Each structure stands twice: as structure tokens, then as C-alpha cells.
Chains A and B, each alone.
Chain A
Amino acid sequence: MSVARQVRSHGWHLDPRILYGGSRLFVLILLCIVLTAASPVFLTGTNTLNVLRVASLLVILAIGETIVILTSGIDLSIGSVLTLSSVVAALALKGGIPLPLALAVGLTVGAALGFLNGLMVAAVKLPPFIATYGMLWVASGFAVVLLKGQVIYGFEENFRFLGVGHLLRIPMPIIIMAALWIPAYLLLRRTTFGRSLYAVGANQEAARLSGVKKDQTLILAYTLSGFLAAAAGLVYVARLNASEASIGTNMLLPAIAAVVIGGTSLFGGEGGIVGTLIGALIMTIVQNGMNLLGVESVWQGVVLGALIVVAVLLDQWARKSLASEGG
């Protein structure tokens, strides 16, 4: 199929799929050029690291969302799973539980909530947006209960290191992001599970008939999403040095926007986390740019909502023209 396409395009003609895949990288580079021209500090090493550091939280969340969307599902609960798991970890730390154990507890809570999402989707067969939307409200409800309406301040230095520390002058959030992104990339590209994700998303029934373990794949996908949301939450609380019941509220839309802008299809089976990395960088730079241009932060919800809708519209339009052109 792809050989036939290359023959037909005589080698010199750029494959439209590559052009389409590269377009978001082009947008990213264009944004960088514009901002470099507009602001002398943009391309400095410090600012680049700063943008990457801010983006890393979004990348961690968006990796999980990508994995779920690849199965043609959606995880609307990542924001409140982030909140609840980080609240549990924060309470554990304040209760005198040693750091490694507290981190493990937080990550386990996230994975367990994701596992429940996966059960509801795979075993009960609830539509993913219903199952995870229910989880959104339950998890944020329990975060409120656990915190009793308070905010927990001031954590030990070792924990804070995860959010504000540096290793070889690179901020820790970037290192943690890379330490999660690289295994996730290998998982998607090099393992049976990765191939199953794409197969389940592309055509659930065919995947099941051809021996892909659909239910296991779905459950693992949602579990990973919960785990990654918890990881993002721990880094975020370490950075803020505070845990409160509303920290995850505004995380969902940016994460979905990053995935969609990164070119992962909402109908499943197409895309990946290279695109998501670029999408998250674009999102961060856009938000950064809005701040630089003095756009009030209250407008950001409006912009995000519009951005998601426009990105999906553009993506569908591009795919349709690819399909009619590529034949």
C-alpha cells in the first residue's frame, strides 16, 4: 500500500501524510520564530528551560490522555484524579509517612482510580465519557472530604525537590517528564500492548476477532492514564508547596487540546505521543504568548474551548482531504 503510493508519487512528490504530520512541527517552529522576534528573552537558555518546565506537567497528563484516546475512548477524569491522588500523598507526607512510601501511595491511588475507569468501560461497557465523567465528580468530591476544605502547606525539602529542584541544571519536572515520555514511547511503538492500543482504537470488533485482548488493553490504558495523572499531581504539588482540592480543575481542557493539536484522532487508532509532545509545547507557548501579550487569564477558558473545537475541525478536514487525495 505505502509502496504503491510512493511509486505513484514518483519519489520526488512529498507524501501528503508526512506533510500533514509535519504541519504541527511547522506551527511550533513558526510560533518560536514569531516570539523570538517579539521578545528578546524568548530564545535564551533560561526561558527555553522555563517553557519546557511549564510544559512538562501538561505533557505527563497528555501522554495518558493520548493512550486512552488511541483506544477511541476519552478520560475526562484526569484533572480530579490528579487532585485526589496528590491530596492523599500530601496527607500521607504530613502524617509522617516516609517520602518513597507516600509517593507510592499517591501513584497507587491514581492507578486504582484509572483501573476503576477501565473496568467501567471494558467490563460494564459504559460509554467512556460517562464513566470518566462520573469519576471526575466522585474523585473531586472525595478530595474535598479528605482536605475538609483546608489547604495543606509546607512540605519537606526532599519532596519539594521533585518540583523545584535541578539535576545538572535541568529542572526536575523536565527530567521526570522525559523519564515517563521515553518508556511510554517505547511502550506504544515496540510492545504488543502498544500495537493492541492502535488495533482496539482502529476497529474494536476486528481487534477482538483477531485475538487482541480488548478488555485487558482498555483496562491497562485507563490505569496508565490514572497513574500518569497522579505523577503529574505529585510534581505539581511539590512545585506549589501546597495541596488543595481545586488544583486539577483547569487541567482537563489543556490536556485534551494538547492531544488533539498533536494530531491524535478522537476516533482512535491514529496518532501518538510525539505529536502530543509537540501539541503540549504549542499549548504552553500559546498560553505563554497570551501572558506576554497581556491577555487576561480569565479569557483562557474561552480560548481553550475554541482551540479544541477548531483543532478537531481542522484535523477532520485534513484527514478527509488526505483520504480523497491519497485514494
Chain B
Amino acid sequence: MSGVLEEQGIRGGRRPGVPWKQVPPVAWVVLTMIAFFGLTAPGFFTAGNFLNITLQGSVLLIMAVAATLVILTEGIDLSSGSVLTLAGVTTVLALQAGLSVPAAVVVGVLTGMACGMVTGLLVTAGKLPPFIATLGMMGMAAGLALVLTRQGAIYADLPAFIFLGGGSLAIIPMPTIIATLVFALAWVVLHQTDFGRYIISIGGNEAGARLSGVNTALWKFLTYVVAGALAALGGVIMAARLRAADPIVGSGWEFDAIAATILGGTSFEKGNGTLGGTVLGVLLIAVLRNGLNVIGVGAMWQPALIGLVIIAAIVFDVLLKQRGVIR
């Protein structure tokens, strides 16, 4: 019975009765927050501020897409924030060494892919638990970023580079455009390619996927490489926005990315979830950050408050699911 319903859900057919139950709870939270900030802060409901939210959420969306792919394979990537930092550093160093902007971006993305390869090898060939492999990578990448920058920020001010972070096409900020492209590409890969099908099948039942002939080690490895590349892209955008690579800029980003993924309904145990849900999770965090700024909550309070809201939301979500209130 429930299998039939689920199949209808997958094909996009509406279940009869209670349609509101199909709306993920995070969507209600986002709407409530938008209404709250809209009523309390005069500057919130403006086109400029909404573009601003997409700009602030863009790097997080890229990171969260990566986190979602990894979590769909029942893995975790605690290193993405440090990889973001390291890739920003290598990109700026490449620019300082006189490379062209596209070449420097390639250097940055390759840095991330290299980190992803090491993590992927440790998880697949080394059979390490993903959290320990990526915790090790977190230490190594963060340490290398400190070594390469000699513990201070390094600067890049080429107009063509800064455009990636601060420029806009028509009125839409470049980071928003890049993040949208990344999301679209990830959606196509996940839903229209063998790679995507394998990611989903590994998460559902890894042993089963392996027995039915899927090279699970290869696809998991590739997932970590893609995650590394996406974190690196986030690092390039951050460096372009800040016009500098800061050796601790990425600290904590992995937490926001994982939180957005979980809030978006992706499950660790079952390895199921959707990229659409992750967008809602990212919106939740981005709207919360933006709203707190607009209503004038100081920067000092924000990490504590946002962390508290995220953890409370995750606990609430899990408890509701266990009690069968929501699916």
C-alpha cells in the first residue's frame, strides 16, 4: 500500500486527501520566517534584499548540493569548509603568479578535486568511516591553507576575477547565476544519468547495489571528487567576493551545508532525499541570516542563534518523523 503511494509520489502524482502533508515542513518554516521578518523589518520585503538573499545563499547552495550528493551515498563530508578555504588560497596564489583568470579558477577547482580524491580513496580503498577520513582531510586542508598564506589574508584585485563574486548580469549577481547553474547541472546528473542512479542506489542499499553489479567504490570515489570540486568552486566565489583568500574563511561552512541538507529532508540512515529539499534548507539558513541582519541582531549573536535554530530544527524534524506526524 505505502509502496504504491510512494511510487505515485515519485512520479509526481498527488496523493488523494491532505495535500498539505506533501509540503515539506521546512517550507512552512521558511514562509513563516519570511512573513515574520517582512512584518518586523521594513527593509526586508524589497527586490534588492531578495537578490541579496540569493547572493548570500549562493555559496551555501553550492556547498549544500555537494553535501547532499555525499549524504545520499550515506557518507558525510566534514572537510568541505577547509577545502573551500584551501581552493580559494590556491586560486589567489595562481593569480598572483600571473596565471589568467580561467587558468587560476581551474587551479582552484583542481585543488578541490585532489582533496576529494584523497578523501574518496580513504573512504573506498582505505575503508575509513567517512567522518574520520574527512576530519583528517579537514585538518590537512586547513593546515595547508595556513602554510600557504603564512597565516594572513592574500589579495587579488583583477577586475575579471572580482567579477565572479561581485559582478552581475542584468541585475542578477554572478554567484547567484553560478549557483543556479550548479544546481541545474547536479539535478540533471542525479536524475538523468547512470552516475545519479548509482548514487541513489548506493544510498538505498549499498550491498544490494554491489551485488547487482554496480561498482560502488568507483561511484562513491567520484562523488567525493565532485564534492571537492564544488567546495572549491565555492572557495573561488568567496575569494572573488572578498577580493582575498583568508586562511580561515571556510571555517564552519561544512556545518551549514550539512544542516541545510538535513533540514531539506535528506536522511543519513536511508540515504534518500532530494536536491529540491536542499534548496529549501539553504533558503532557511540564508533567510535567517539575512533577517537577523535586517532586524539588527549583532554579528556576535548570530553564530550562537543560528546554530541553536538549526539544531532545534533538526531535532524537531527527526522527532516528528519518528512519531509519524510527517513523512
Interface residues of A (CB under 8 A from B): 74, 76, 120, 124-127, 129-131, 133-138, 140-142, 144-145, 148-149, 253, 256, 266-267, 296, 298-306, 308-309, 312-313, 316
B231 within 8 A of A: no
Residue of A nearest to B140 (CB): A305
Please pick, from A134, A137, A306, the residue contacting B314 in the complex, using a CB distance under 8 A.
A134
A141 and B151: CB pair below 8 A? no
Residue of A nearest to B151 (CB): A298
A144 and B300: CB pair below 8 A? yes
Docked CA distance A145–B76 (Å):
29
In the bound complex, residues from chain A placing their C-beta under 8 Å from that of B314 are: 126, 130, 134
Residue of B nearest to A149 (CB): B300
CB of A117 to closest CB in B, whole Å: 11
- Taking A299-B147, A312-B128 as contacts, is the C-beta distance between A145 and B268 under 8 angstroms? no
B 301-315 binary contact with A (CB < 8 Å = 1; else 0): 111111110110011
CB of B139 to closest CB in A, whole Å: 3
Please pick, from A124, A266, A267, A312, the residue contacting B319 in the complex, using a CB distance under 8 A.
A124
CB of A32 to closest CB in B, whole Å: 26
Docked CA distance A305–B115 (Å):
13
In the bound complex, residues from chain B placing their C-beta under 8 Å from that of A296 are: 147
CB of B93 to closest CB in A, whole Å: 15
B307 and A126: CB pair below 8 A? no
Of residues 269 through 315 on chain B, the ones whose CB sits less than 8 Å from some CB of chain A are 300-308, 310-311, 314-315
In the bound complex, residues from chain A placing their C-beta under 8 Å from that of B322 are: 125
In the bound complex, residues from chain A placing their C-beta under 8 Å from that of B311 are: 120, 131, 134-135, 138
Of residues 133 through 187 on chain B, the ones whose CB sits less than 8 Å from some CB of chain A are 133, 135-144, 146-147, 150-151
B34 within 8 A of A: no
Listed residue (A136, A140, A301) with the most chain B CB atoms within 10 angstroms of its CB? A301
A126 and B146: CB pair below 8 A? no
Q: Provide 16 A-B residue pairs closer than 8 Å at the C-beta atoms, listed in order of the A residue.
A: A74-B131, A125-B322, A129-B76, A130-B258, A130-B262, A131-B311, A134-B307, A134-B314, A135-B311, A141-B305, A144-B300, A298-B151, A301-B143, A306-B136, A309-B136, A316-B126
Residue of A nearest to B315 (CB): A124
In the bound complex, residues from chain B placing their C-beta under 8 Å from that of A145 are: 300-301, 304
CB of A156 to closest CB in B, whole Å: 28
- Taking A138-B311, A302-B139 as contacts, is the C-beta distance between A144 and B131 under 8 angstroms? no
Please pick, from B129, B141, B300, B304, the residue contacting A138 in the complex, using a CB distance under 8 A.
B304
Please pick, from A127, A133, A302, the residue contacting B268 in the complex, using a CB distance under 8 A.
A127
CB of B232 to closest CB in A, whole Å: 18
- Nearest 7 A-B pairs (CB), nearest first? A305-B139, A301-B143, A141-B304, A302-B143, A141-B303, A305-B140, A309-B136
Residue of B nearest to A320 (CB): B127
Q: A138-B307, A301-B140 are in contact. List 19 more A-B contacts (CB 8 A).
A: A120-B311, A120-B315, A125-B318, A126-B318, A129-B131, A134-B259, A141-B304, A141-B306, A144-B300, A145-B304, A253-B135, A300-B143, A302-B144, A304-B139, A305-B136, A305-B139, A305-B140, A305-B142, A313-B122
B252 within 8 A of A: yes
Please pick, from B78, B129, B136, the residue contacting A133 in the complex, using a CB distance under 8 A.
B78
